[in-house]
Structure 1
Amino acid sequence: MTRKILGLACAALLGSAVPAAAQTSIQAASDVGFAPYSMATMDGSFEGIDIDIAKGMSKYSGIDIKVIQQPWSTTFAGLKAKKFDAMWSAAAITPERAKSMAFLEGYGEAIDAVLQRASDKKIKTIDDLQGKTIAINKGSSADAWLTERQDKHKITISRFETSPDAVQAVLSGQVDGYMMYQTAAGFASLKNPLLQVSDFVVKKGVSYGYAVNPDNIALRNKLDAALECMKTSGELDAIFKRWTGITPEPNGVTNTPAPGYGEPGATHYEDTPHEPTCG
């Protein structure tokens, strides 16, 4: 690495603004109850993918990331109003959202799979859905995807208002499967041996990630560098495996750092070259 690039890397990693460099603790708002990302335990503490990532990123960044509970419906407005420092939920990184938030690079990919009974033949391709009744959450992206294909593949759709009701429908035999986030399906199958996750998946081509206010880019960059350390060390893959039972694909979002800071192509992305210090 040349002296010039090294200087850029150090400056970007430490942050150019004094407020971010001085921050030793931040509040990160999470939609607690969204399994397996953030859940409450019996003693009132939190656990899940996002909680484990917060602990790891605290280690690498030197910033104590304190996860607080925040209803999903008010999270974006709360971040804008600076009621907390970061949005800490699996939010799809869309162009519209990126205008008002400075996203870190994605830490996961939006992938759907089918939760099905372990006693049934595993669904491996879309053709295996033919003639089956599949549950979905009403109005979800899975709803839209299945609706477009139900006639061609002779799929019957059963819509539910809540995830627990859909899972129960699978267990009772009311439906043949429940299309949902692959991570959530994996978590459900770990909790109940009567369930399994299909090999068939639907990749939406969208990453999800955390975000901070656009006026605190230095904080975003420091957190982003910490996230990259978790990717290169294999810690992020291990967290997903622990909570879902599914091993992330190699060369994917969970184990491949994005160039620069933030999500490439999104508003507030910076293509500053750097090599994170992962001591």
Structure 2
Amino acid sequence: MNNQFKFVTLSTLLALSGPALAQDKYTVALDGTFAPHAMPSLSGGVEGFNVDLANIIGERLGVEMDVVATQFSGILPGLAAGTYDFVVAPTTITTERAESVLFSEGYLNTDFQFVVKAGTDDVPDLEALKGKIIAVNKGSAYDSWAREKGDEIGWTVESYGTNSDAVQAVVSGRAFANVAGNTVSAWAVKQNPAIELSYLYTTGLVWGMPFRKGDEALRDKVEAVIECLKIDGTMASLSEKWLGVTPAEGSAAITPQPGFGEPDFAGYVMDDHVPSCE
């Protein structure tokens, strides 16, 4: 039995994708208020990690990318309605979502990360936060998670109207730490030398790009570019630019997955292609 891997290049995928994908522009959507992934630019429009990522994908495919900034709540319904060709907003791959949309492989880990005042001793685990005040953005996933952990860990949770306010509570000494998404925390630290990154709570979840069910050819074509961006260091460069963080070994930003889609989720297709930039 021949177990040799097949190298599938970007040009090959373009050739095989057929007339249905022979278009010169893709309309893609993201949330324009989710810094550092997309946020208003001083020069107008939006900028951020995912804005750059979308435009680089367009450049590699030789197509124009019409990046639409809108509310996240309307993005997946807009994809289903055909308003968008695919979604470039950070979207957590979950079992429930994978039943209704087709995901690319993950390109960033989405974890919980604590921020503390600069110079604070290392926090090795959650138990080290016993008796501490933890500031969170009111109503966020981090708020509910921290409160659920309250009795177990023995910390006190204080909620603030924005994550920026929660971070300021740390700076002013009203709270020991703030917990938020790892990329949001990295962005906050990049902007403020008075704080630093601390304990990272790993969720095991990743962000992927959603496509419509049945659009496997388009998904595979875009994913081939994503794999290349992991291999050639572009994804790591975007992380360093927008997050101030070099991706860890084995992280989603630098580790191509076998097959197409995210393993262990609906829509994943296992094949023997080898990720390549050739």
TM-score normalised according to structure 1 size: 0.90
| Maintained 8 Å contact 2:30/2:72 | yes
CA offset at residue 74 of structure 1? 0.7
- Structure 1 residues 160-213: Cα deviation after superposition (integer angstroms, max 9, x where no partner): 332222122222222111101111111111111111110x11111111111111
2:226 maps to what in 1? 227
CA distance in 1: counterparts of 2:74 and 2:126, whole angstroms:
36
2:159 maps to what in 1? 159
Secondary structure in 2 matching 1:36: coil
- Structure 1 residues 20-78: Cα deviation after superposition (integer angstroms, max 9, x where no partner): 1x022101101011011111111113221112212322233333333111111111111
1:93 maps to what in 2? 93
Amino acid of the structure 2 residue aligned with 1:95: T
Secondary structure in 1 matching 2:152: coil
Comparing 48-57 and 269-278, the one that deviates more? 269-278
Q: Residue 65 in 1 paired to residue 71 in 2?
A: no
1:174 maps to what in 2? 174
Instruction: Please list every run of at least 4 consecutive aligned residues from structure 1 whose deviation after the TM superposition is greater than 6 angstroms.
Output: 7-12
- Structure 1 residues 106-137: Cα deviation after superposition (integer angstroms, max 9, x where no partner): 11111111112214334332232111100122
Amino acid of the structure 1 residue aligned with 2:243: T
Alignment of 1:115-154 (within 5 A): 115-154=115-154
1:275 maps to what in 2? 274
1:197 maps to what in 2? 197
Amino acid of the structure 2 residue aligned with 1:250: E
Amino acid of the structure 1 residue aligned with 2:178: Y
Q: Which runs of 5+ in 1 are unaligned?
A: none
1:55 maps to what in 2? 55
| Maintained 8 Å contact 2:105/2:257 | yes
CA offset at residue 95 of structure 1? 1.3
Distance 1:11 1:192, change over 3 A: closer
1:18 maps to what in 2? 19
Amino acid of the structure 1 residue aligned with 2:202: K
Distance 1:184 1:99, change over 3 A: same
CA distance in 2: counterparts of 1:247 and 1:84, whole angstroms:
31
Amino acid of the structure 2 residue aligned with 1:78: G
CA offset at residue 255 of structure 1? 0.7
| Maintained 8 Å contact 1:101/1:213 | yes
CA distance in 2: counterparts of 1:169 and 1:214, whole angstroms:
44
CA distance in 1: counterparts of 2:7 and 2:160, whole angstroms:
54
1:245 maps to what in 2? 244
Residue-pair matches, total: 276
CA offset at residue 215 of structure 1? 2.9
1:261 maps to what in 2? 260
CA offset at residue 11 of structure 1? 9.7
| Maintained 8 Å contact 1:12/1:274 | no
TM-score normalised according to structure 2 size: 0.90
- Structure 1 residues 118-160: Cα deviation after superposition (integer angstroms, max 9, x where no partner): 1433433223211110012234332343233322332001123
CA distance in 2: counterparts of 1:10 and 1:194, whole angstroms:
44
Q: Which runs of 5+ in 2 are unaligned?
A: none
| Maintained 8 Å contact 2:30/2:38 | yes
CA offset at residue 13 of structure 1? 2.2
CA distance in 1: counterparts of 2:196 and 2:11, whole angstroms:
47
CA distance in 2: counterparts of 1:141 and 1:211, whole angstroms:
21
| Maintained 8 Å contact 2:186/2:245 | yes
Comparing 142-151 and 127-136, the one that deviates more? 142-151
CA distance in 1: counterparts of 2:154 and 2:20, whole angstroms:
57
Amino acid of the structure 2 residue aligned with 1:247: T
CA offset at residue 9 of structure 1? 7.0
- Structure 1 residues 206-226: Cα deviation after superposition (integer angstroms, max 9, x where no partner): 111111112322111100000
CA distance in 1: counterparts of 2:243 and 2:100, whole angstroms:
31
CA offset at residue 243 of structure 1? 1.4
Amino acid of the structure 2 residue aligned with 1:253: A
